Amino acid sequence: MSQSATLTAMQASASSRRRFSISRLIIYIILAILFVTQLYPLLWLLIYSFKTNEEILSGSFFALPASWQWVNYKDAIGGGLYWKYLTNSVFVTAITIVAVIVLAAMVAFAISRFRWKYGQYVLLLFLLGMMIPLQSTLLPLMIMFKNIDILNTRWSIILPYIAFQTPIAVFILSGFFQSIPNEIEESAIVDGAGVWSIFTRIVLPISVPPVMTVCILTFINIWNEYVLAATFISSEKIKTLPFGVYSFVSQYSVNYGAIGAFLVLGAAPVVIIYFLLAEKITKGMVAGAVKG
């Protein structure tokens, strides 16, 4: 009887391992497909940037270049005014990130840590802001910026960037702030700390993971944004990085290789930062759920 039970248990164990192996194989296959579909466009763009116009127009998308055209990158940096557009993008993105962090942190702190009956309604108001399509705001913003005389200035894109990035930042930070134990604040109040001291010396220092997540997501969303910048900016002095592509398009010819090189140079900061800090993004997104 015991031998039969042992044999049955062994068979059941082997069957469960087989099912487990099959399910794991299916998961690996799905992950491999997702990895290839996400990585291939980047590899294709990289190969594209080293080709001549003739190779690009030949339609051989998977072929390697016969001769690697490093001159495309030289043309992208020199002819595409890369450094000027890069400086403008860095300036706009940095101002936006700082403003979003400051505003969203203070709003999230007030919503999650103050005991007032309208806190959840304010949070809901910010969450509704996430549902507004960007395209529906272009005409009203155009009229508004023209009336206050900031159209075709850096502020005409910085202010909308802040407005569109703040709701998701408030959502992330408020979720984390709500998970902070009340005993920490109570101890600080007993020691004589005020609201501002609690916010700057206690809450913000322990909120580095979600703050980093907000910084990275804001950077990724703003860096290559084109619609708002194309709508509100016409001056060459303050155009951002996506506009550099048009430097290689003339009336009679297009330098496709230089365009590819410029796109690689423009996307490189986002890709590098994301791969270096992807773990921090994940930790920041789940910090509020697992903290306490």
pLDDT by residue (tens digit) across 151-167? 989 999 999 999 999 99
Residues 124, 202: Cα–Cα separation, whole Å: 26
Residue 115, pLDDT above cutoff 90: no
Q: What is the pLDDT of residues 178-224, one digit of tens each?
A: 888 888 877 888 878 788 888 888 888 888 888 888 998 899 889 88
3-state secondary structure (DSSP) of residue 254: strand
Residues 79, 258: Cα–Cα separation, whole Å: 9
**pLDDT score of 282:** 65
Mean pLDDT across 30-34: 84
Residue 291, pLDDT above cutoff 50: no
Q: How many domains does the chain have?
A: 2
Tell me whether residue 74 is in a domain: no
Question: Encoding tokens for residue 273?
Answer: 């930062």
Tell me whether residue 213 is in a domain: yes
Q: Which residues 6+ apart lie within 8 Å of 133 measured at CB?
A: none
CA atoms within 13 A on the CB side of 148: 10
Place of tokens 């031998």: 3
Do 49 and 116 share a domain, yes or no?
Answer: no
CA atoms within 13 A on the CB side of 126: 22
pTM of the model: 0.79
| Ordered DSSP codes for 150-205 | -TTSTHHHHHHHHHHHHHHHHHHHHHHHTTS-HHHHHHHHHTT--HHHHIIIIITG
What is the span of the domain harbouring residue 285?
Answer: 80-289
**pLDDT score of 15:** 53
Do 170 and 46 share a domain, yes or no?
Answer: no
